[in-house]
Amino acid sequence: MLSRFKIILVIAISAISYMSAFGQGNFIHDTVNISEVVVSANRNLRFVEDVPGMVTIIDSKTIEELPVQNVDEILQWVSNVYVNRSWGIFSQNASVTMRGLDASSRVLVLIDGVPLNKSAGGSVNWHLISVNSIDRIEVIKGPASAIYGNNALAGVISIITKNPTKPFQGNIGLLASLYNTFGGEFNLSGNNVKNEKGLIWSVNSFYRQGDGYILEPVETRDSTDVAASLREYNIAAKLGYSFNKNHKVEISAHLYDDHRGQGRKVYEEYGDYMSVNTTFLRADYQGVFKKTLLNINTFYQLENEFKQSESISSKNGKYQLSDRDSHKNDYGLWINATTYISDRNILTYGIDLKQGIADVKNIYHTSTDVLIYSGILDFFGIFIQDDWKFLGDKLIAVVGARMDFSSFNKGQLIVENPTSVTGFVTPFDEHFINSSWSAFSPKLAVKYNFNSSYSAYISYSKGMMPPKLDDLSKSGVIRKGFKLANPELGPEFITNYELGATLKFFNKLVVEPAFYYSLGKDFQYFVGTGDSVDTGGGKLQPVYQRQNIAGVEIIGAEISAKYQLLKNLTLIVNYSFNNSTINDFDKHQTDNKDLIGKYLIEVPKHMAYLGVGWKNKYFNTTASYNYISSQWYDDENTILISSYDIIDLHISREFMNRYHVSLTVQNILDNQYIDRKGYLSPGRFFTGEVKFKF
């Protein structure tokens, strides 16, 4: 598999080198353009070439042609972004990480300028957004806590939804896939703005359901293994009003509901399943006051999650049935202003407020146990950033800093009528002590434009990730043993040093390399405490706790290239390398296992992508190749998850500017790999879709 990857990569790089050397003058149009506007890098409008960092923008035209089913899969073609969606559309959710770090909570995800990451666990519900509702995605790599604070440890992924351009427009579509999967969608929108005044609106929705496939490998299946299933629907609406060219408001809402079978059934009608209901609301005001642009965003996210679990113990043959009912809220107010002091000096500043609440109840129906935990996280941040241009437009400097203040309060853990199933000996009711912490996140970056074709930047930045409510207040049985809450858990930090460049050849080829060195401090590591408890399985199980005891070192590099071979033929290739190891570990606070020198789990050392897009008068075709190298499953680096590669294909045709037909084939070679939980991926997956535009 590795040799196949090397061969493809060598061919792609050789092709780029050959065409850049001999292709000048053989092209019809100049289609490589890096003068795009990016909002998320500095929380204000900037051209990409004015940002001293690595930025990738994915526009709606590109998204339409990619062989994807879900929003997170769009990010697979961005260098140094790792998307883990091993069950395909049947995955409960995806993990999106970048720059050699594990855990999706270390990447901040925004939708229309406000955060999607939940305070309880740091995760993102990627199903909340329809692929067809996206105008563009901006990916900002490297720590961005100086401007965004929480979760922007590895970078920022900002999703901007579409605004209509016509008085009335829309489309309706149907899809069908393997495993008796089918669905549909519709989009309606209108733009009635005239003379800078008027209304815009949009409504979009999608629905999918499927019987699914059996996740357990054939050799380990038993009578309780059944197909994982899917039923989901989403509806989103946006309403905006422009008072004049200087003032406008916008409100939006996303409602999502799903029911997903988890692949096991013993006695209950639906077996193991999870149901998620999410409500996401946002209100935005933008105003211009002389030289200052003011943006006020408020948001609210409520996620209700119900999970039913049943199993028969392989150790003692006992049947267990339990359910978890959780309610997790996040809401906040983000205010930022941008003052254009001069055409060479832009000042951005503001405050962010956010509160996260978790209230979770676990009921064990085959025993008497009831376990309840709750807590509140409060966040307050203040930031300022100054952008300067010197020597004309050649030298760009960015200096920024942010202070974040956070607190954990009203944390509580209640255990009623305990048995060995939950690991508690006696009833338990503890109100955790309140705790608080602060974080300072500076940034300094400089970019030099040698000419219109060549530029380079160097940057220093710090990132911060707060603890999650689930780690601060949740105790109970987990897959590996018993998890103990840690109400004194603090944030983790990373310092990043980076050097990068943009190289443009013949106005057809853009190459962007970057090299970085990152040092993590106080990393939150899930480690054994040395204690053990009886959880009813016949032997004592180890106790684990999330603690700030690890230091991390990451040596990384990435390179991406985009080449417009012909007017309608595009080649994209990228490669990333991350050597992510633990360089400091306080083993005296744990079970004395020394992890110094071990690799971070679930971080591929090598990743590569090769994509080809071809458009002609008959059809549009996009083919992509993804390679993910092996990665470690456990902290002690004893279990290795094998490498894998995937080839996807998307073919589409449009008739009379109204009818759109497409076929997407994911994993053409049917490479059914095993994920980190020991489950199978779906293998080759066909999806056909038809749309009617009006």
Q: How far apart are CA 3 and CA 694, in angstroms?
A: 48
How many C-alpha atoms does 370 have within 13 Å on its Cβ side? 6
pLDDT band at 422 (very low <50, low <70, confident <90, very high): confident
Q: Looking at the predicted structure, is the pLDDT value of residue 14 above 70?
A: no
pLDDT band at 660 (very low <50, low <70, confident <90, very high): very high
Candidate from 195-204, 411-420, 422-431 with smallest mean pLDDT: 422-431
pLDDT band at 536 (very low <50, low <70, confident <90, very high): low
What is residue 527's predicted lDDT score, i.e. its pLDDT?
81
pLDDT band at 588 (very low <50, low <70, confident <90, very high): low
To 5 degrees, how large is the angle CA 548–CA 550–CA 553? Answer: 135
**pLDDT, tens digit, for every residue of 510-532?**
999 999 999 999 999 888 887 88
What is residue 30's predicted lDDT score, i.e. its pLDDT?
32
Name residue 4's amino acid.
R
Q: Looking at the predicted structure, is the pLDDT value of residue 314 above 80?
A: no
**pLDDT, tens digit, for every residue of 434-486?**
999 999 999 999 999 999 899 999 999 999 999 999 999 998 888 778 889 99
- What does the mean pLDDT of the chain come to? 90
Mean pLDDT of 564-578: 94
What is residue 4's predicted lDDT score, i.e. its pLDDT?
44
pLDDT band at 35 (very low <50, low <70, confident <90, very high): low
3-state class (DSSP) for residue 631: strand
What is residue 10's predicted lDDT score, i.e. its pLDDT?
37
Q: Looking at the predicted structure, is the pLDDT value of residue 23 above 60?
A: no
To 5 degrees, how large is the angle CA 331–CA 402–CA 468? Answer: 45
DSSP characters over 355-374: EEEEEEEEEETTSS-EEEEE
Residue numbers of the domain that contains 174: 2-693
Q: Which of 497, 483, 394 is nearest to 443 (CA)?
A: 497
Q: How far apart are CA 83 and CA 62, in angstroms?
A: 18
Q: Looking at the predicted structure, is the pLDDT value of residue 20 above 70?
A: no
DSSP characters over 270-314: S-SEEEEEEEEEEEEEEEEETTEEEEEEEEEEEEEEEEEEEEE-T
Q: Looking at the predicted structure, is the pLDDT value of residue 18 above 60?
A: no
- Residues with Cβ within 8 Å of residue 350, at least 6 apart in sequence: 43, 334, 335, 336, 337, 382, 383
What is residue 238's predicted lDDT score, i.e. its pLDDT?
97
pLDDT band at 616 (very low <50, low <70, confident <90, very high): confident
Q: Which residue has the higher pLDDT, 634 or 186?
A: 186
Q: Looking at the predicted structure, is the pLDDT value of residue 12 above 90?
A: no
Mean pLDDT of 82-86: 94
DSSP characters over 101-131: --SGGGEEEEETTEE---TTT----GGGS-G
- Tokens 């008796």 belong to 180
Candidate from 46-50, 267-271, 547-551, 634-638 with smallest mean pLDDT: 46-50
What is residue 617's predicted lDDT score, i.e. its pLDDT?
83
Could you tell me if 585 and 561 are in contact, meaning their C-beta atoms sit under 8 angstroms apart? no
pTM of the model as a whole: 0.92
Count of structural domains, the chain = 1
**pLDDT, tens digit, for every residue of 682-693?**
999 999 999 999
What is residue 453's predicted lDDT score, i.e. its pLDDT?
92
Q: Which residue has the higher pLDDT, 423 or 295?
A: 295
Q: How far apart are CA 39 and CA 158, in angstroms?
A: 9
Candidate from 5-9, 523-527, 664-668, 681-685 with smallest mean pLDDT: 5-9
Q: What share of the chain in percent tops pLDDT 70?
A: 94
Mean pLDDT of 104-108: 94
Token couple for 56 = 């990738």
What is residue 532's predicted lDDT score, i.e. its pLDDT?
82
Token couple for 419 = 């048995």
Q: How far apart are CA 165 and CA 671, in angstroms?
A: 42
Q: Please report which residue ranges of 145-220 form alpha helices under DSSP H.
A: 145-148
What is residue 25's predicted lDDT score, i.e. its pLDDT?
30
Could you tell me if 255 and 235 are in contact, meaning their C-beta atoms sit under 8 angstroms apart? yes
CATH number, domain with residue 228? 2.40.170.20
Q: Looking at the predicted structure, is the pLDDT value of residue 33 above 70?
A: no
Q: Looking at the predicted structure, is the pLDDT value of residue 197 above 80?
A: yes
Q: Looking at the predicted structure, is the pLDDT value of residue 405 above 90?
A: yes
**pLDDT, tens digit, for every residue of 222-275?**
999 999 999 999 999 999 999 999 999 999 999 999 999 999 999 999 999 999
Q: Looking at the predicted structure, is the pLDDT value of residue 290 above 50?
A: yes
Mean pLDDT of 194-205: 95
What is residue 589's predicted lDDT score, i.e. its pLDDT?
63
What is residue 600's predicted lDDT score, i.e. its pLDDT?
94
- Residues with Cβ within 8 Å of residue 579, at least 6 apart in sequence: 100, 554, 555, 556, 605
* Cα 132 to Cα 111, 203, 223, 457, distances in angstroms: 14, 12, 40, 34
Mean pLDDT of 347-360: 97
Name residue 550's amino acid.
A
> Helices (H), strands (E): how many in the chain?
4, 36
Q: Which of 692, 666, 660 is nearest to 681 (CA)?
A: 666
- Print the SS3 string covering 408-459: EEEEEEEEECCCCCCCCCCCEEEECCCEEEEEEEEEEEEEEECCCCEEEEEE
- Residues with Cβ within 8 Å of residue 14, at least 6 apart in sequence: none
What is residue 11's predicted lDDT score, i.e. its pLDDT?
33
What is residue 34's predicted lDDT score, i.e. its pLDDT?
44
Mean pLDDT of 188-214: 96
Q: Looking at the predicted structure, is the pLDDT value of residue 657 above 50?
A: yes
Q: Which of 186, 188, 187, 189 is nearest to 164 (CA)?
A: 189
Mean pLDDT of 329-345: 95
Mean pLDDT of 531-558: 86
pLDDT band at 379 (very low <50, low <70, confident <90, very high): very high
Q: How far apart are CA 483 and CA 415, in angstroms?
A: 14
Q: Looking at the predicted structure, is the pLDDT value of residue 320 above 60?
A: yes
